Structure 1
Amino acid sequence: MPEFSEFSSSLTDSFSAELTAAIGSAPLPALDEGSAVHGPLKTLLQGGIGDHLIDVSPTRQMELLSALWLVAGDIHLSHSISQDLPSAEGSFLHGIMHRREGDFGNAKYWFRRVGAHPVFQQIAEVTDGHYSDPFDFVDHCQRASAEGQADRCMESQWAEWQALAQVIIDG
């Protein structure tokens, strides 16, 4: 069950109580594709998220929808959205999706397209350097998945998601 970190507590100000509860009921997102799309969040996302977002720019809602599908466990729906997003955040989401599907080289390609994003420094700080940059983190995740030691990477991935979602919301 992902809990919002102190640094991202303002995220919930932009989500309805129902969306916040649905995110909280999902398991911590895995490093891989995941085995199933998870209950309440899936149901809510299938109905559309417009009514569940507070003061989120309509131009950023598709990015947020792609991000939410990552939490729900459907990387393929996230991918179908992120591949059409021309922003740095769209490339970032695309990179996360490929990292989770195990296509590590392609993940790095998309992170190169992100460029020098200010969120990388924030993620490094909140993960105590475990996520020093997206390329090293892809390598960490690849090793952790192969060795069955995914916990720390999953926690850092959740911090990454929160930091990116905050940037998307702040527009």
Structure 2
Amino acid sequence: MHRREPDYSNAKYWSRVVGYHPLHDELPAAVEPLFERYAALSHVASWKERLVPNKRWLLNAFVDCCQECETTGDPELNAFAQQVQWLEMLLLLQKTSLDAVSV
């Protein structure tokens, strides 16, 4: 959420405080179709290695991606990041709602 401020160092601080979340294991599979869609754009596709090393989502790498979006204004990278954030929020809301009814 803090990526939206944009205070990127604060976003990274909070990701360290929160630590691991099961979402970090689910996001790579959810985002894979986006990587496939943007495969022809090397400047977007190159983020796959940074975002998903060892099949786990690196939240701070996504913060870096968002910062690059702001810095460069690259429309393709912005579209990619917005779609990733949509998936991230969707998965988080699903997990939260499932946790709420499981109590």
- TM-score between both structures, scaled by the size of structure 1: 0.41
**1:102 match: secondary structure:** coil
Separation (CA, whole Å) in 2 of partners of 1:119 and 1:112: 15
After TM superposition, what 4+ stretches of structure 1 lie above 4 angstroms from structure 2? none
Higher relative contact order (CA 8 A, sep 6+): 2
- 5+ long unaligned stretches in structure 2: 36-47, 52-56
Percent identity between the aligned chains?
35
Give a deviation string over 1:1-43, Cα, whole Å, max 9, x none.
Answer: xxxxxxxxxxxxxxxxxxxxxxxxxxxxxxxxxxxxxxxxxxx
1:109 matched to 2:6? The reply is no
Separation (CA, whole Å) in 1 of partners of 2:15 and 2:27: 14
Q: CA RMSD in A?
A: 1.4
Preserved CA contact (<8 Å) 1:111 1:134: yes
Separation (CA, whole Å) in 2 of partners of 1:126 and 1:114: 21
Larger relative helix fraction: 2
Larger radius of gyration: 1
- 5+ long unaligned stretches in structure 1: 1-95
- TM-score between both structures, scaled by the size of structure 2: 0.67
Letter in 2 for 1:139: D
Matches within 5 A, 1:40-55: none
Q: How many residues align?
A: 75
Separation (CA, whole Å) in 1 of partners of 2:58 and 2:9: 15
Matches within 5 A, 1:73-88: none
